């Protein structure tokens, strides 16, 4: 009887929880592991003249992506289709779809390289100095001297659902990436044959 009583009332051991930065890394990995999803991106400095651009991106693993808005691109494996006024121009380059995915997921992917983060509810914040370091790793010239950086992510259900970036200093800019249609985004298909021009 005594042994049963002891087992019944034995103190519950506290469950260990991952650190904020580990949970953030896991949330990025969970998104990248999804077979299909869409993004809505707004980037205030992405235009040719530093103007704002908005993109809708549909990703279908393993190697299909479509981009509409500031760019109009469909990439399937090593084949890319670029939309112009008279139709779609086709090009072939190794890693065409991977390059497009990397470009559209740049602000999501830098979170995976964060060395530290703090958590406030569903929001994960990267310290300004660490965020500035991560921006430099993108290789984008406009972030070479990034200063006064705020980088955060929202996580829901263990998956990154939004990323917010603000850069101050002499060349201020901002960017947001919102994730949607996880597991149910539309299929990415090549343009109709009659609209494809010679590359």
Question: CA-CA distance, 143 to 147, in Å (whole number)?
Answer: 9
**12 part of a folded domain:** no
> Tell me, what's the pLDDT at 4?
47
**104 part of a folded domain:** yes
Q: What is the mean pLDDT of residues 29-57?
A: 89
Which residue in this structure is represented by tokens 């930065």?
21
121 lies in which domain range?
20-197
> Residue 10 above 70 pLDDT?
no
Which has the higher per-residue pLDDT, 199 or 105?
105
Look at the chain and report how many structural domains it folds into.
1
**135 part of a folded domain:** yes
Mean of all residue pLDDT scores within the chain:
89
Residue 133 tokens read as: 């370091």
**11 part of a folded domain:** no
Contact (Cβ atoms closer than 8 angstroms) between residue 47 and residue 177: no
> Residue 15 above 80 pLDDT?
no
> Tell me, what's the pLDDT at 52?
86
Q: How confident is the model at residue 14 (pLDDT cuts 50, 70, 90)?
A: very low
Which of 24, 61, 59, 12 lies closest to 40 in space, CA to CA?
A: 59
Q: What's the CATH code of the domain at 36? A: 2.50.20.10
> Residue 189 above 90 pLDDT?
yes
Angle (CA) 18 127 112, round 5°: 50
**4 part of a folded domain:** no
In DSSP notation, 56-84 reads: EEEEETTTEEEEEES--EEEETTEEEEEE
Hey, what's the torsion of the CAs at 95, 98, 103, 109, to 10 degrees? -140
> Tell me, what's the pLDDT at 40?
97
Tens-place pLDDT, residues 156-171: 999 999 999 999 877 7
**47 part of a folded domain:** yes
pTM of the predicted model as reported, rounded to 2 decimal places: 0.84
Q: How confident is the model at residue 198 (pLDDT cuts 50, 70, 90)?
A: low
Q: What is the mean pLDDT of residues 55-59?
A: 96
Tens-place pLDDT, residues 65-83: 999 998 899 999 999 999 9
Tens-place pLDDT, residues 89-106: 999 999 899 999 999 999
**25 part of a folded domain:** yes
Secondary structure (3-state) at 37 = strand
**141 part of a folded domain:** yes
């Amino acid at each position: 009887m005594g042994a049963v009583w002891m087992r019944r009332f034995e103190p519950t051991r506290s469950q260990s929880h991952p650190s904020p930065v580990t949970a953030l890394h896991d949330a990025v990995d969970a998104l990248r592991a999804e077979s299909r999803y869409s993004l809505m991106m707004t980037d205030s400095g992405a235009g040719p003249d530093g103007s704002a651009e908005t993109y809708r991106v549909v990703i279908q693993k393993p190697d299909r992506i479509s981009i509409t808005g500031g760019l109009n691109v469909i990439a399937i494996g090593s084949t890319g289709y670029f939309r112009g006024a008279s139709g779609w121009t086709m090009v072939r380059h190794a890693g065409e779809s991977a390059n497009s995915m990397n470009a559209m997921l740049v602000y999501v992917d830098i979170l995976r390289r964060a060395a530290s983060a703090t958590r406030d509810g569903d929001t994960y914040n990267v310290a300004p100095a660490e965020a500035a370091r991560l921006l430099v790793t993108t290789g984008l010239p406009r972030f070479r001297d990034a200063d006064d950086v705020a980088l955060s992510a929202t996580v829901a259900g263990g998956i990154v659902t939004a990323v917010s970036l603000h850069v101050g200093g002499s060349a201020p800019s901002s960017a947001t990436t919102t994730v949607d249609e996880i597991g149910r985004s539309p299929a990415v298909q090549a343009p109709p044959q009659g609209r494809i021009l010679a590359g």
